[in-house]
Structure 1
Amino acid sequence: MSGHVFISYSHASDAEYVAALAEFLKAAGVPVWFDGKIVTGARWANVIQERIDSCAAFVVVMSPASAASQWVDREVNQAEETDRPLMPLLLEGKVFFRLNDVQFEDVTRGEMPSPAFVDHLRSLLHMSGVSDPAPVDSGHRRPVNHRAPRPVGSAAFGSFSGGLRKGTRGRLLVAAGVVVVVALTYGVARLNSRTSAAPSSSPSASARTSPAPNLTTFSRTASQRVAPPHGKAEDVLAVALSADGKTMATSSWENRVGVWDVSTPSAPRELTALTEHTGNVFAVAFSTNGKLMATAGSDKRVVLWDMTNPAAPREVGAVTDHTAEVYAVAFSADGKMMATGGWDKRAMVWDVSNPSKPRRLSTLSGHTGDVLAVAFSADGKMLATGSWDHQVMVWDMSSLPSPKRIATLTDHTSGVRAVAFSADGKMMATGGWDNRAMVWDVSNPSTIHRVTTLTEHTRVVLAVAFSADSRTLVTGSWDELVLAWDVSNPSAIHKIATLTDHSRPVYAVAFSADGRTMATGSHGDNLVLMWAVSNG
């Protein structure tokens, strides 16, 4: 693939929206190709065919006019025949009959696609070998000729890793209930505990002088597949565990947050499903005492929940200051502050000591791309923000209400998707679209520096998490792997396990505060896996 997204649409009615869409995607770093002027002839038809054949993803804007367009029909045919990833947008009317089984995003209010939709385009481009490409488009347009499309078989998103699996509104929204299929499996999961040599940026293996061997092992205790009443499973976007390890929250493409009793990790039980959000829920987080939960989503809101009774969470407050989708949320260790990050390129810090009246303390500016990750250090003195602008910024929270930026880390060569601090306050981990995870020494905030770069993942690193004892780092990736690393000696970091149980991208990794339980969630196989963690 040559590294562009092809946009198919009706020039007769949808040209204005598509022009805005193209500008939006280009501004987000997604190169697009669409034909903007009417041009006739076989030569131009050949150009269109070549651009479809070489695209990394095929976006079709669905409307009554495009449904009746001969050219849109031909383009969809070509995309299906060449197995291009289909990413439909519903602008007006009904979903194409031929695409009835393909997952779509609803933009019937004329809005731009969600960050998650754009993230998928970016990932497809990344897998095609494109990193931050220059935008491309065309100054031409095919002739308009209307006829009804032939109803033929559709190519579903399930045919490739990473396609959208739920329309964000409209036909796929269902009742609040969630059907859960729990398949319990016991025993040690498939592990590859081969110790790998440290990456080139790390000291050699001979330099390893770990104070004590890290004997951490992971045994899968349960597999949870979340499926709404219509029977189609939901992708898992985020997972959080309460500090006591008894409650878990999950979020998905739909406006759902699932709350689970995992006090017995081998027998998880769904308690309730929260549906107050009106769009995708991208992030969930518990306060340290487990009494407060925050959920953030594409409706530009962060909702605060009283979790005193996990079976009946009560909405107690919300923040609405972000002007675009909210992608990340985190609490400080004392539970008094919350940080949020969004598509509006801003991070915000909130006083949530009174959850019913959250108060914005500060807006952190400086990122030039959407803020995808936020994390507090264990002592609450630092906040890290990761962005699509390739940067990680570290902020001194002792200088509130005007936090001072104490570090800008530019080692990643693409967007930063995940950030986490170790509990002992000595390390920070980051993961990004450059397929790399990095470990940083943050023991001295004035001299933050990279310790090593972990390069074993072959796709985007979507999640990073430290164990409670700060001895183990776990990374989740688009390559469907969960890797565990011994970080007990930062100068000799090495891999200790490879977990291969997921069959689709791993979007989320979370540890319980006592370190005995880990949860991993996947976009694609629709599973949350529960792991018993033993330190030998």
Structure 2
Amino acid sequence: MSFGAAAAGTSQGDTKGDVELTAPPEDSISDLAFSTEGDYLAVASWDQKVRIYEISQQSGKSEGKAFFQHEGPVLSCSWSKDGKYVVGGGADKVARLIDLGANTSSSTIVAQHDQPIRSVKMFQTNGNNMLVTGSWDKTVKYWDLRQQTPIGSITCQERVYTMDMRNELLVIGTADRYINIVDLNNPMTFQKTLQSPLKFQTRTLACFADASGFAIGSIEGRCAIQYKDDTNSTLNFSFKCHRQNATPDTSKVFAVNAISFHPIHGTFSTAGSDGTFHFWDKDAKHRLKGFSDVGGPITATAFNRTGTIFAYAVSYDWSKGYAYHNPNNPNKIMLHPVVGEECKPRPGGTQRKK
């Protein structure tokens, strides 16, 4: 699918109005997560901290409100549905939780694995806060935060590299390009397992806003759109992105590091090692906006609950290994005001089957 080529005539996006987050982390940023209950942003970082910031809708100004410490790089963070708790998971093989109403930076260990925890997601069941953790030990575990032991576990084919959840849909991406789909009504079994339609390593994935499917990003500058139900399989496709023409016959290929879906419009963003981000309409197979290189790899992205702010982290993404890490690399989080038609679906696009 020549998604990118079809979008060649789209207008360029503008980042001049973007606002830099105050007092960002001191090392590479691994994850961003907005609260669904207010304009608060959680940030996970390689400096072993999870930080929580309050963001002003009017000015974009930010203020640090809380943080908690891990004993290794933090790879993922997530909010509870009620906005009262933030959890982080990382290389110290544990997930830690902070109670934002407790007025303290101390955290509680709420989950543990045999290897680093790559992804954490919080959800609610019958009003109770629950946690799901995915690890390089090849397991996904479910935790009731009122208990110290997991209430269930499911073994994957390989190490968990990425994971996302929306409503009852949980999607797990592992090494060797396996994609596991779980219905949280039956959380201890895989509803479906498939190999990624992309030929190279899975880097990230994100569930559609309506939970009818998910998008996959890989290290080879390509993205795939996948519906969970076979009845919509004809709507599955993949497209090239985050590539630069090196010569008339060759392209430089960059990893797709982050995908985020707009909470209102259902459109989505991709961001990559090339330092660019783009907004897309999957139903119309159209790129809505493309943004120029922001000065460094983009490692994480997130929309706020109303879709009016798009946060993106600019920091070293380790795609070239330790040898290319430079202390002078940019390390910042930018807040982009979503204005006008930037994320609105294209009129007359092909709509998903009901």
The bucket for the TM-score relative to the shorter chain is 0.7 to 0.9
- Residue 500 of structure 1 aligns to which amino acid in structure 2? S
Q: Which has the higher mean CA deviation after the structures are superposed, 254-263 or 446-455? A: 446-455
Residues 220 and 371 of structure 1: CA distance in aligned 2, closer, same or farther (over 3 Å): farther
Distance in 1 (alpha carbons) for counterparts of 2:161 and 2:235: 20
Is 1:224 the counterpart of 2:21? The answer is: yes
What per-residue deviation string (whole Å, max 9, x for no partner) do you get for residues 185-230 of structure 1?
A: xxxxxxxxxxx96258xxx89xxxxxxxxxx9877441136567xx
Q: How does 1:256-405 map to 2 (within 5 A)?
A: 256-264=49-57, 266-275=60-69, 277-308=70-101, 312-320=104-112, 322-332=113-123, 336-352=129-145, 354=146, 357=147, 359-368=149-158, 370-378=159-167, 380=168, 382-400=169-187, 402-405=188-191
Equivalent residues of 2:2, 2:239 under 8 A apart: no
Deviation, 1:409, is: 3.5
SS in 2 for 1:389: helix
- Counterpart in 2 of 1:465? 260
Residues 286 and 296 of structure 1: CA distance in aligned 2, closer, same or farther (over 3 Å): same
Residues 426 and 324 of structure 1: CA distance in aligned 2, closer, same or farther (over 3 Å): same
TM-score after normalising by structure 1: 0.53
- Residue 61 of structure 2 aligns to which amino acid in structure 1? A
Equivalent residues of 2:274, 2:293 under 8 A apart: no
Equivalent residues of 1:388, 1:414 under 8 A apart: no
Distance in 2 (alpha carbons) for counterparts of 1:219 and 1:350: 43
- Residue 68 of structure 2 aligns to which amino acid in structure 1? L
Residues 299 and 240 of structure 1: CA distance in aligned 2, closer, same or farther (over 3 Å): same
Deviation, 1:295, is: 0.2
Residues 344 and 446 of structure 1: CA distance in aligned 2, closer, same or farther (over 3 Å): farther
Answer 1 or 2: higher relative contact order, Cα 8 Å, separation at least 6: 2
Unaligned ranges ≥5, structure 2: 8-12, 244-253, 317-329, 342-354
Deviation, 1:464, is: 0.6
Is 1:533 the counterpart of 2:319? The answer is: no
What per-residue deviation string (whole Å, max 9, x for no partner) do you get for residues 404-449 of structure 1?
A: 332323312222121211222223111112321111123x367656
Deviation, 1:336, is: 3.5
SS in 2 for 1:295: strand
Deviation, 1:319, is: 0.8
Residues 227 and 473 of structure 1: CA distance in aligned 2, closer, same or farther (over 3 Å): closer
Name which one, 1 or 2, has greater alpha-carbon Rg. Answer: 1
Is 1:477 the counterpart of 2:272? The answer is: yes
Unaligned ranges ≥5, structure 1: 1-195, 206-215
SS in 1 for 2:185: helix
Report the aligned-residue RMSD: 3.0
Equivalent residues of 1:238, 1:284 under 8 A apart: yes
Deviation, 1:455, is: 0.6
TM-score after normalising by structure 2: 0.79
Structure with greater helix percent: 1
Deviation, 1:450, is: 6.0
Equivalent residues of 2:216, 2:223 under 8 A apart: yes
Residues 366 and 482 of structure 1: CA distance in aligned 2, closer, same or farther (over 3 Å): same
Q: How does 1:52-451 map to 2 (within 5 A)?
A: 198=3, 220-224=17-21, 226=23, 233-264=26-57, 266-275=60-69, 277-308=70-101, 312-320=104-112, 322-332=113-123, 336-352=129-145, 354=146, 357=147, 359-368=149-158, 370-378=159-167, 380=168, 382-400=169-187, 402-442=188-228, 444=229, 451=236
Residues 461 and 397 of structure 1: CA distance in aligned 2, closer, same or farther (over 3 Å): same
Aligned length: 313
Deviation, 1:367, is: 1.9
Give percent identity, aligned residues only.
20
Equivalent residues of 1:339, 1:375 under 8 A apart: no
Residues 434 and 306 of structure 1: CA distance in aligned 2, closer, same or farther (over 3 Å): same
Residues 473 and 274 of structure 1: CA distance in aligned 2, closer, same or farther (over 3 Å): same
Equivalent residues of 1:226, 1:526 under 8 A apart: no
Deviation, 1:390, is: 1.1
- Residue 217 of structure 2 aligns to which amino acid in structure 1? G
- Residue 453 of structure 1 aligns to which amino acid in structure 2? S
SS in 1 for 2:98: strand
SS in 2 for 1:324: coil
SS in 2 for 1:329: strand
SS in 2 for 1:399: coil
